[in-house]
Amino acid sequence: VGVGASRVRDLFDQAKKSSPAIIFIDEIYAVGRHRGAGMGGGHDEREQTLNQLLVEMDGFGNNEGIIIIAATNRPDILDPALLRPGRFDRQVTVGRPDLKGREEILRVHAKNKPLAPDVDLKTVAHGTVGFVGADLENLLNEAALLAAKKNKKAVTMAEIDEATIKVEVGAEKKSRKYTEKDKRITAYHEAGHAVSAFYLENCEPVYEISIIPRGMAGGYTLYRQNEDSSHMLKSAMIDRIVSAMGGRVAEAITFGDISTGASQDIAHSSEIARSMVTKYGMSDKLGPVLYGKDNDEVFLGMDYSNSKNYSEAYASLIDDEVKRILSECYAKCEELLTVHNDKLTLIAETLIEKEKIGKDEFLKLMDENFDPTAEEPSEEAVTTEDVKAEENTEETVEEIGEDVTDISKVTDDSYEVGETEE
C-alpha cells in the first residue's frame, strides 16, 4: 500500500535535483482516471497515486524549472482535477495525420529502406487515408520484409500495395483450403459487397476483392477513400449500410439460402443505424436528441453500470427505428442486386476463377460495354499464325543464301527493302 504514491514523490524529488528537467508521463489515464465509484472503490492504490501526483503538481514554486508533459488518447476519462489551471491546463490535440502529414511520416520511416524508382510516397499517402503514424511505420516495415523474402534489393510499389492490405486486413492464409461450395458462397458474398458499392453514389471506390482468407476473414472487399474527410453525411451512412448488406443479399438471391458469413456485416450495420438514431439525431421520428450514454468506461474507473437516460417506451421506439433503417437498406440492396444480377454473377464467377480482382479489372468488368462472351483468339488460330510466321522466316533465309542456316546469323544488313513481311 502506498507504493505508487511513494514512487511519485521519488520522481519529483529526482526532477527537482536535476532541475531544469522535463517529466513525461505516457498513458496518463493509467493513474489519472476519474475518481469515483469505480470497480476498485474510492480508496484503491490508483487513487492514492493520483492524489500524490496532484499534491506534487500543486507544490511547484515559480522558478522550479520543471515542466510536466503527459500523453493520452482518452482525455475524456481523466479526473477534472488534473486539467485545472496550474496543472495540465494546456492541451495539444494530435489527430490522425492528413495527406501531407502521412507523406512526411512515410519519408521519416523510409530513410533507412532502399526504395525502387517506381515508389511515390505521395501516392502511398493518398491510399492510406485514416492511417496513423504507427500504421505507416508498420506498412513500410512489412513492405521491406516482403521485398527481402523475394530477394529484391529495393522495395517496389508491389510490396507496398501488398503491405497496405496486410496492415488493414491481415496476412494471407493460402494454406487454408476451401470446399467448392464455400468458395462459391464467399465469391458471391464479396461480389455482393463490391457490386452494390459500385452503384451507390456515396460509397468509397472498390480497391480490391479477394476470396483468399486473410486474418479472421474468409474473404474481403477493400475500399479506398479518395480524400480526407472529417464529416459523414446521412446519405453516406445509409449507403454504407446498403453495401454492408450486399453479402447477405447476394447469398439469398443466388442460393436461396443464407450463411453465417454476414455476422460482422450485420453487427457493423446495426452499430451505424443505432448511432444514427441515438447519437447523431438522424431519425425524423425521434428528432435531434441524444439517447443514452457511452457504456465503454466500466473498466476505466467510472460507474459499474450506466443507466439509460430514456424510458422503456423510447427504448422500444429506438429499436423500431433501427430495425426500420436496416430493413429499408436491405430492401434497397435487394432491388439493386436483382437489377444488376448479371454483373453480380460476372464478378463472382471471375473471383472463383482468379480468387482476386484488382481495382482496374473490377472497373473493366463493371463497364456497361464489357462483353464477357467476346472470344479470345483460340490456341489453334495462334498456332496457325506461328506456323505461317516460321514458314515465311524459312523462305527469307533461303533467299538470302544457302550459307546462312541460322536465323540468328541474319543481320539487318542482309535484308533488302520489301523482302520481308511482318
Q: What are the extents of the domains in the chain? A: 3-83, 99-169, 180-366, 379-414
Instruction: Judge contact between 262 and 248, C-beta under 8 A.
Output: yes
Topology at the third CATH level for domain 3-83: Rossmann fold (3.40.50)
The rounded distance, in Å, linking the Cα atoms of 73 and 80 is 16
AA identity, residue 14:
Q
Asked if residue 391 has pLDDT above 80, the reply is: no
Residue 414: which of 399, 395, 392, 388 has the closest Cα?
A: 399
- What kind of architecture, by CATH, is found in domain 180-366? Up-down Bundle (1.20)
What DSSP string runs through 348-406?
Answer: HHHHHHHSEEEHHHHHHHH-TT--TTPPPPPHHHHHHHHHHHHHHHHHHHHHH-TT---
pLDDT one-digit tens code per residue, 322-360: 999 999 999 999 999 999 999 999 999 999 999 999 999
Give the pLDDT confidence of 146-170 residue by residue, as tens digits.
999 999 999 999 999 999 988 888 8
The question of whether 391 is a catalytic residue gets the answer no
Which is more confidently placed, 62 or 315? 315
Report phi then psi at 61, rounded to 5.
Answer: -90, -175
Q: What is the pLDDT of residue 374?
A: 65
H-state helical runs in 199-245: 234-244
Average pLDDT, the chain: 82
Identical topology for domains 3-83 and 99-169: no
Average pLDDT over residues 254-258: 94
Assign domain 99-169 to a CATH class: mainly alpha
Position 333 scores a pLDDT of 97
pTM for this predicted structure:
0.74
Q: What is the pLDDT of residues 205-238, one digit of tens each?
A: 999 999 988 877 888 999 988 777 778 899 999 9
Instruction: Say which of 47, 190, 208, 321 is annotated catalytic.
Output: 190
**More confident site: 381 or 263:** 263
Q: What share of the chain is helix, strand, coil (3-state, %, to 5)?
A: 55, 5, 40
